[in-house]
Structure 1
Amino acid sequence: MWDQPHLTQYGPARVDLTSALAAARAKHPARPVVFLSYPSIVPEEACQTRWIVDRAIHYVKERDRSRPFCLKVSFVDPHDPYDPPARFLDLIDPAAIPPPLASDDPTLLALLPRLRRIRFAQRAADVSPEEWRTVRRYYLASLAFIGEQVGCIRVALGAEGLAGCGPAGCRGRRDRVCAESGRRRLPLRHHLHCPGPTRSDP
């Protein structure tokens, strides 16, 4: 369990969530398959990725149609622990995931003593190359879940007569990074934008 001091005074009301989270973890314990990776322990509709998209679609449907709008949908995932709904693991071919690369770069090797003092790095030290491939499979499955949910936003935009809107990468190399899962190419970031005036009338 990581130290999470921000949860002792969470949000504007400064609510202490630690006891509620401890109770939830006890009731729904995670069962990692490998390091920080397991199928979701909650129903798909309760996953945070789905919740974020449901809120975005609700906004699109209930917005003030007399005013222009900009919708930015930002996902928490893919982030460890990697816990996608189990059905997305079937989209990822384990045989297509390469093993992790080893490096003999002296600059990186010089950093190892410092990295080994970090608790996360200590926990990851004994993860085997084959286990890292499994971790990557769960990571890519999390991306597949996001990709499907972005498609749901596009459908909602189309139903509102906004078919010209859709995911578009921002300028810059970072936003064009994609993940190769072996079966599909998944963009890491999406930005939804709608054409129209840049400001509302006074």
Structure 2
Amino acid sequence: MDYRISEPVVGPRGEDVLPASVSTAVKVVIVGGFGVGKTTLVGSVSEIRPLTTEEIMTQAGAGVDDIAGVERKSETTVAMDFGRITLNDRLVLYVFGTPGQQRFWFLWNGLFEGALGAVVLVDTRRLEDSFDVMGRLEERGVPFIVAVNAFPDAPSYPVSELRQALDIPTEVPVIDCDARERGSSRDGLLTLMRYLHTLTTTTPEPR
């Protein structure tokens, strides 16, 4: 029996192929509340076509997902987002975005497996959405930085006030970020990598 292939088999696109010089791959995760911009960040920073699992929001989520402040949001991540960025000739980051709704948090167990650190995206209009997220990271012992995503109508606060409101330790970096801009998203990931480096090189003070 003859079989006809409707589409030609193609190899990986040029931008999908890792440079031969890459020797280290690091997994990081992007976390935050519902609608805070995780999918946007992964998409803006990824050098490959990002994998997304966004689905149209339906009435099934009414009364379950809190959409206060993001009423115009029409899609939501139901599993994960995935992208990749090569930081230099030797280092590549695999970036995973987590779903924001608590009903999908059971997926975090797999997404955090092997992750070295996290970027917590924060929306200043809904700071309370960040409490449980950071609490789960602290329970797991996952180092993180906080990136305040830029929204046109979001209030701006001094870093000192944000630290107090979110109970963030002084050593944890808090930065501004525009998840729509590749350069800004990349800077956030670089800040995380520098923070992780300081954690490995800082000698604990004797008790």
Give TM-score scaled by structure 1 length.
Answer: 0.27
- Superposition TM-score, scaled by structure 2 size: 0.27
